[in-house]
């Protein structure tokens, strides 16, 4: 694998041969579903070619050959899991992305209120009740009459400002989904205000997690007389700036909308009262589960390796394939055809697909040039003028196509963001007949106009007593995400990422039994918008590493 840093940005490349012009592909994948026990469920998929045979898999095992639709008349909890369909046409097979089917029982409420909820008259009061899924709807009733929806927080809690005696009584939290309902009762009663200090009630959770792109509420509520307090929020020691992404809801709750990786961190809510009452604080650690974006890395001999933060699932020509034990997220290229890598997380799955030939010649050399906030230029000059298509894919804008003919490079105008750029060369000019179709994929980051490259200090590489290579550094900007690439003689390159810094990389490929006479080991550190910084160690420092005890 070769990794380049051009004009201050890290680029990962992969290449492969395309086997046929009219390839089997899915036009419709089965969709995720949230259902209740006993409901009817139907999953569907559709391929682009005619005369296609379909099969269905459940948790990667074959269960049925029912055509392009799979029906479950009355679903049970044992049917919860991932479903995917396999399409076969003219001896070519392909599997779809999976559908995650979540099955809930009669209990739709995750956090139920207690039998009694005590509130201070003249102060605000927060009553807990949260659904088990964000697809469920929460409503509140007081004495069987609907409560104003503006009092219901995004997490389902009820927050009543300036409680009066008329607010006391019996309340029902009602969670509904389709025709199913679950409810919990609580009685609001009056209590005396704390005589000293500030009490946070209900107690916020110390840790929360949220999917990328979803909303999350960080609840912070103080019980004190007349609400004479101020709420302040900090993230990793810095004041939280309220904007389109972060808003205050109710009195002091922080709502984060469309959560992204940069929202990870430790949030501190400080409730400040007068001199007599002082202040009270609580810290909530938020983890944002990013959508994985797998990509096949550059082919190494008969090895196909998929970049995925989790354990990848591989298929070769529609058949489940066990990954290699000695190289992370890799399979052996032992047949021509379509290789698929599925990168799952708790709730979402994304995929990458490549076509490999056993005797494929060397790939084209693809370069990304002149990266600027306004766009970039893609070049294949070493392969000569050619015709083909550039495919540009981003999370926000989907896929775009840019045909070209008789050129060695193509400028592309884009806005800031992360892109997957795929180039297909159809043939070189002057060829008597079209040659094999070649493609190569790169990942590239386009900066914001005001991005400033961060710096790191104390960058060093060494071998520790656990027979592993360690690269340590201290970042100046703790909010940065870093990419680390380690390589040494007789050793495959490995790519690591981390959303938290500083950190150590303490692993080398397990298939390397002994690394002897290492002349130099090198680790390149990248941030999203900085040039590479070398982290080097000499043979005198590294010595010999024995992974098998030798």
pLDDT score recorded for residue 381: 64
- Residue 467, number of CB atoms within 10 A of its CB: 15
φ/ψ bin of 388: left (φ > 0), alpha (ψ from -120 to 50), beta (otherwise): left
| Helix, strand, coil % over all residues of the chain, rounded to 5 | 5, 55, 45
- Within 10 angstroms of residue 336's Cβ, the number of other Cβ atoms is 15
* pLDDT computed for residue 72 by the predictor: 95
With cut-offs at 50, 70 and 90, classify the pLDDT of residue 450: low
Q: What is the mean pLDDT of residues 44-61?
A: 93
Taking each continuous run of H as one helix and of E as one strand, the counts in the chain are 1, 54
Is pLDDT at 392 greater than 90 in this prediction?
no
Give the phi and the psi of residue 540 in degrees, each rounded to 5: -65, -35
391/408 Cα distance (integer angstroms): 16
Measured CA to CA, the distance from residue 13 to residue 18 in angstroms comes to: 16
Query: How far apart are alpha carbons 4 and 12 in whole angstroms?
Result: 7
* CA diameter of the chain: 92
Dihedral, 332, 344, 447, 236 alpha carbons, nearest 10: -130
Q: Dihedral sign, CA of 122, 124, 126, 127? A: positive
Asked if residue 384 has pLDDT above 80, the reply is: no
Instruction: Name the pTM for this structure.
Output: 0.63
Q: How confident is the model at residue 393 (pLDDT cuts 50, 70, 90)?
A: confident
Contact 373, 448 (CB under 8 A): yes
3-state SS, residue 149: helix
pLDDT(524) > 70: no
Write down the residue that tokens 């999370």 correspond to.
395
CB atoms within 10 A of CB 534: 10
Mean of pLDDT over the chain: 75
Residue 539 is inside which H or E element, if any? helix 539-542
Q: How far apart are CA 516 and CA 536, in angstroms?
A: 17
- For the chain, give the percent of residues with pLDDT over 90: 35
The dihedrals phi and psi of 275, each to the nearest 5 degrees, come to -60, -30
Structure tokens of 404? 């070209």
Average pLDDT, integer, range 425-448 = 58
Cα distance between residue 217 and residue 214, in whole Å: 10
pLDDT, mean of residues 67-92: 93
For residue 264, the model assigns a pLDDT of 87
User: What pLDDT, in 10s, does the model give residues 479-503?
Assistant: 444 444 444 433 333 444 443 444 4
The highest-confidence range among 155-159, 413-417, 452-456, by mean pLDDT, is 155-159
Average of pLDDT values for 205-213?
86
Domains and CATH numbers, the chain: 3-19+361-446 (2.60.40.10), 23-105 (2.60.40.10), 109-289 (2.60.40.10), 456-546 (2.60.40.10)
DSSP SS3 for 548: coil
pLDDT tens, 320-377? 999 998 888 899 999 988 999 998 776 678 888 888 877 765 556 667 776 666 777 8
How confident is the model over 441-449, as a mean pLDDT? 70
> Would you state the pLDDT for residue 143?
87
Name the burial class of residue 72, with classes exposed (0-12), middle (13-18) and buried (19+) by CB atoms within 10 angstroms of its CB. middle
* Region 297-305 average pLDDT: 75
């Amino acid at each position: 694998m070769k990794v380049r840093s051009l004009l201050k940005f890290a680029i990962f490349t992969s290449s492969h041969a395309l086997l046929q012009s009219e390839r089997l592909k899915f036009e419709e994948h089965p969709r995720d579903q949230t259902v209740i026990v006993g409901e009817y469920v139907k999953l569907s998929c559709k391929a682009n070619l005619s005369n296609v045979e379909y099969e269905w898999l459940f948790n990667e095992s074959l269960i049925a050959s029912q055509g392009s639709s799979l029906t479950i008349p009355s679903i049970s909890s044992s049917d919860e899991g991932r479903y995917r369909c396999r399409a076969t046409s003219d001896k070519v097979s392909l599997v779809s992305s999976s559908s995650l089917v979540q099955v809930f029982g009669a209990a739709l409420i995750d956090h139920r209120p207690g039998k009694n909820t005590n509130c201070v008259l003249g102060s605000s009061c927060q009553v807990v009740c949260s659904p088990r899924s964000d697809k469920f709807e929460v409503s509140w009733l007081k004495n069987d009459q609907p409560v104003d929806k503006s009092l219901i927080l995004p997490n389902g809690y009820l927050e009543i400002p300036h409680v009066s005696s008329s607010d006391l009584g019996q309340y029902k939290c009602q969670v509904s989904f389709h025709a199913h309902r679950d409810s919990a009762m609580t009685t609001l009663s009056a209590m005396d205000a704390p005589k000293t200090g500030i009490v946070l009630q209900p107690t916020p959770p110390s840790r929360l997690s949220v999917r990328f792109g979803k909303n999350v509420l960080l609840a912070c509520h103080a019980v004190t007389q007349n609400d004479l307090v101020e709420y302040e929020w900090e993230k990793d020691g810095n004041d939280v700036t309220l904007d389109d992404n972060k808003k205050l809801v109710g009195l002091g709750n922080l709502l984060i909308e469309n959560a992204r990786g940069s929202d990870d961190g430790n949030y501190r809510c400080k409730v400040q009262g007068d001199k007599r009452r002082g202040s009270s604080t609580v810290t909530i650690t938020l983890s944002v589960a990013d959508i994985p974006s797998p990509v096949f890395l550059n082919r190494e001999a008969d090895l196909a390796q998929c970049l995925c933060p989790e354990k990848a699932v591989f298929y070769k020509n529609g058949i489940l394939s066990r990954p290699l034990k000695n190289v992370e997220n890799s399979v052996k290229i032992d047949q021509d055809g379509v290789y698929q890598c599925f990168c799952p997380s708790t709730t979402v799955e994304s995929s990458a697909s490549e076509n490999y030939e056993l005797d494929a010649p060397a790939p084209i050399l693809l370069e990304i040039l002149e990266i600027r906030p306004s766009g970039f230029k893609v070049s294949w000059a070493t392969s000569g003028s050619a015709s083909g298509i550039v495919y540009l894919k981003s999370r926000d804008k989907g896929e775009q196509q840019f045909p070209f003919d008789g050129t060695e490079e193509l400028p592309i105008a884009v806005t800031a963001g992360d892109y997957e750029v795929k180039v297909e060369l159809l043939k070189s000019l002057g060829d008597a007949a079209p040659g094999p179709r070649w493609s190569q994929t790169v990942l590239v980051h386009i900066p914001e106009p005001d991005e400033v490259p961060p710096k790191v200090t104390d960058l060093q590489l060494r071998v520790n007593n656990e027979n592993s290579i360690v690269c340590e550094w201290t970042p100046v900007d703790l909010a940065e995400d870093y990419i680390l690439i380690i390589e040494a003689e007789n050793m495959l390159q490995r790519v690591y990422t981390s959303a938290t810094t500083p950190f150590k990389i303490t692993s080398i490929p397990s298939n390397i039994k002994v690394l002897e006479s290492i002349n130099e080991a090198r680790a390149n550190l990248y941030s999203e918008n900085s040039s590479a910084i070398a982290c080097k160690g000499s043979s005198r420092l590294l010595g010999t590493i024995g992974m098998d005890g030798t």
